[in-house]
Amino acid sequence: MSELRFEGVTVRYGRALTAVDGVDLTVPAGQVVGLVGESGSGKSTLARAAVGLAEPAGGQILLNDVPLHHRPGARRPLQMVFQDPYSSLDPRMTIGDSIAEAMPRGPREPRGPSRRDEVVRLLELVGLDADRVSAYPGALSGGQRQRVAIARALAGKPEVLIADEITSALDVSIQGTVLNLVRTLQRELRLSMLFISHNLAVVRYVSDIVAVMYLGRIVEVGPARDVLGNPQHPYTKELLAAAPRRGSTALPPPDEALVADAEPADPHHPPVGCRFHPRCPIGPLIRTDREHCLTLDPTAEADHRLHRAACHHAAGVLRAVGSNPPVLMQLKEDSQ
Ligand X SMILES: Nc1ncnc2c1ncn2[C@@H]1O[C@H](COP(=O)(O)OP(=O)(O)OP(=O)(O)O)[C@@H](O)[C@H]1O
Chain contacts with Mg ion (rule: CB under 5 A): 44
Cα separations in angstroms, 303 against 208, 244, 319, 327: 19, 32, 11, 11
Per CB under 6 A, 189 contacts ligand X: no
Radius of gyration of the chain (CA): 22
- Determine the Cα–Cα distance for residues 151 and 121; give it in Å rounded to an integer: 9
Side-chain-side CA neighbours of 154 within 13 Å: the count stands at: 23
- Determine the Cα–Cα distance for residues 106 and 117; give it in Å rounded to an integer: 17
Q: Which of 3, 7, 10, 17 binds ligand X (CB under 6 A)?
A: 17
Per CB under 6 A, 197 contacts ligand X: no
Per CB under 6 A, 13 contacts ligand X: yes
Shortest separation between residue 44's beta carbon and Mg ion, angstroms: 3
Q: Which does 298 bind (CB under 5 to 8 A by kind): ligand X, Mg ion, none?
A: none
Shortest separation between residue 20's beta carbon and Mg ion, angstroms: 12
Question: Of 44 and 186, which has the nearer Cβ to ligand X?
Answer: 44
Q: Which of 85, 234, 267, 284 binds ligand X (CB under 6 A)?
A: 267
Per CB under 6 A, 34 contacts ligand X: no
Question: Of 19 and 32, which has the nearer Cβ to ligand X?
Answer: 19
Dihedral sign for Cα 21, 26, 27, 31, please: negative
- Determine the Cα–Cα distance for residues 6 and 23; give it in Å rounded to an integer: 7
Question: Of 56 and 326, which has the nearer Cβ to Mg ion?
Answer: 56
Task: Reduce the DSSP state of residue 156 to 3 states and report it.
Answer: coil
Task: Reduce the DSSP state of residue 176 to 3 states and report it.
Answer: helix
Q: Which of 5, 12, 43, 313 binds ligand X (CB under 6 A)?
A: 43
Q: How many CB atoms lie within 10 A of CB 153?
A: 28
Question: Of 44 and 192, which has the nearer Cβ to Mg ion?
Answer: 44
Q: Which does 281 bind (CB under 5 to 8 A by kind): ligand X, Mg ion, none?
A: none
* # binding residues, ligand X (CB under 6 A): 12
Shortest separation between residue 182's beta carbon and ligand X, angstroms: 18
- In this chain, which stretch among 13-21, 63-71, 200-208, 315-323 interacts with ligand X, using CB under 6 A? 13-21
Residue 59, φ and ψ in degrees, nearest 5: 80, -175
DSSP structural state of residue 251: P
End-to-end Cα separation, the chain, in angstroms: 30
Catalog residues that contact ligand X under the rule CB under 6 A.
13, 17, 19, 37, 39-45, 267
